[in-house]
Amino acid sequence: MANLKELRSRITSVSSTMQITSAMKMVSAAKLSKAQDAIEAMRPYSEKLTQLLQDLSATLDDDSSSKFAEEREVKNVLVVAISSNRGLAGAFNTNIIKAVRQRAKENYSGKNVEFYTIGKKANDILTRNFTIYKNNNEIYDELTFDNVAEVAEELMQLFLDGKYDKIEIVYNQFKNAATQVVTEEQFLPIPKFEQENNKQLDYIFEPSKIEIVRELIPKSLKMQLYKALRDSFASEHGARMTAMHKATENATELRDDLKLTYNKARQASITNEILEIVGGAEALSN
C-alpha cells in the first residue's frame, strides 16, 4: 500500500486534472451551442440549393452540362481531409484519418492519391505516408463563407486545369453532441442527376435554364464545402465536450477511490500508533 504522502500527492494531482477537464467541458459546451446553431441554420438553405440544382441539371442535355461535371478517366485523386487543429476530442480525428487511409488503399489502389488537409491533426499523421498537396490550418481562425469560398475556388481550378480527375471531401457530420458520422462526399466532378418520373418543375427561367445552372454550380460547390467545414467544426466541439465529460467522471471516480484508500491507510497508521503506545505503556508498567 502506498504511503500517506504518495496518496495525498496523487489525490492533489487527480483533483487538478479534474478541474481542467471540467473547465474544458464547459468551454466546449459554450462553443458547441454557437456552432450547432450555425450549422442548423444553414442546412435548409444548402439542401434547397442542392435540390434546385439537381432538378435543373436533370432536365439538361448532356451537351449542356457544366465543365464541372466532366467525367474523366480517374488517374489523379485529391482527398480533402477535414480534421481539427487541436486534440483531446476522443476519436474525432482518428476516425477521419482511418477513413481516408482506407479509401486510398481500397478505392484508389494503383492511382495517384494526394491530400488537401484542413486541420493540423490530419496533416501531422498523413504527411508520414502520403503526399500532401496543401495544408490549411488557418481556416479555423475565421471560419466564414468568404474564406471557405476561396478554398473551394482553388479546388475547382485544380479540377479545371486537369491536375486532378476527382476530388472528394471526408469530414465528420454533426448529428448531436455525442454522435459524429464520418461522411465521404464527391466534390468534383459533380454527380449526374436523373429526373424523377412524372415530376414537373414549376419554375420560370430567366435568363435561361443553362445559364442558371452554370451560375448555381459554383455557388453550390462553395456551399457544399462550407457546410462540411461547419459540420466538422460543430462535431469537434461536441466530441471534445463528450470526451471531457467522460474524463471528468473518470477523474472523480479515481479521486474518490484514492480518498478511500487514503482514509483506510490513515486509520491503519493511527491504529498502529495507538498499539505502539499501549504496548510501550505495558512494558514500562512491568
- Is 284's pLDDT higher than 90? no
pLDDT bracket for residue 202 (50, 70, 90): low
Buried b (16+ CB within 10 A) or exposed e, 77-99: bbbbbbbbbeeebbebbebbbeb
- Sign for the CA dihedral angle at 221, 222, 226, 227 comes to negative
- In contact, 84 and 28? CB cutoff 8 Å: no
Q: Check whether 195 has a pLDDT greater than 80.
A: no
Enumerate the β-bridge partners of residue 184. 170
Return the pLDDT at 153.
95
Domain count, the chain: 1
Q: Are 93 and 83 in contact (CB under 8 A)?
A: yes
pLDDT score of 241 more than 70: yes
pLDDT digits (tens, 9 = 90+) for 203-230: 677 777 777 777 888 898 999 999 999 9
Q: Say what the pLDDT of residue 78 is.
A: 96
Report the DSSP beta bridge partners of residue 182. Answer: 172
User: In this structure, is residue 4 part of a structural domain?
Assistant: no
Identify the band that residue 123 occupies on the pLDDT scale cut at 50, 70 and 90. Answer: very high
- Residue 5 binned pLDDT confidence (cut-offs 50, 70, 90): confident
pTM: 0.84
Q: Is 11 within a domain? A: no
- Copy the grid coordinates of residue 281: 505503556
User: What cell does 91 get?
Assistant: 476519436
Domain for residue 142, yes or no?
A: yes
Q: Over the chain, what is the mean pLDDT?
A: 87
Is residue 276, in this structure, part of any structural domain at all?
no
Mean pLDDT of 24-40: 91
- Note down the domain range covering 156: 27-243
**At residue 243, does pLDDT exceed 80?**
yes
| Tens of pLDDT, residues 150-168 | 999 999 999 999 999 999 9
Of the segments 36-50, 193-207, 251-265, which one has the largest average pLDDT value? Answer: 251-265
Can you give the pLDDT at residue 59? 64
Percent of the chain with pLDDT over 90: 56
Return the pLDDT at 187: 92
Q: What is the pLDDT of residues 245-258, one digit of tens each?
A: 999 999 999 999 99
Between residues 195 and 232, which one has the greater pLDDT? Answer: 232
Q: What is the pLDDT of residue 197?
A: 55
Residue 135 belongs to a domain with what CATH number? 3.40.1380.10
* Residue 262 domain-assigned (yes or no): no
pLDDT in tens, 61-103: 554 457 888 888 999 999 999 999 998 998 999 999 999 999 9
Residue 244 has a pLDDT of 94
Cα distance between residue 116 and residue 79, in whole Å = 6
Which of 25-39, 51-65, 133-147, 215-229 has the weakest average pLDDT? 51-65
Identify whether 273 is part of a domain.
no
Q: Is 259 within a domain?
A: no
Percent of the chain whose predicted confidence (pLDDT) is above 70? 91
Assigned domain for 49 exists: yes
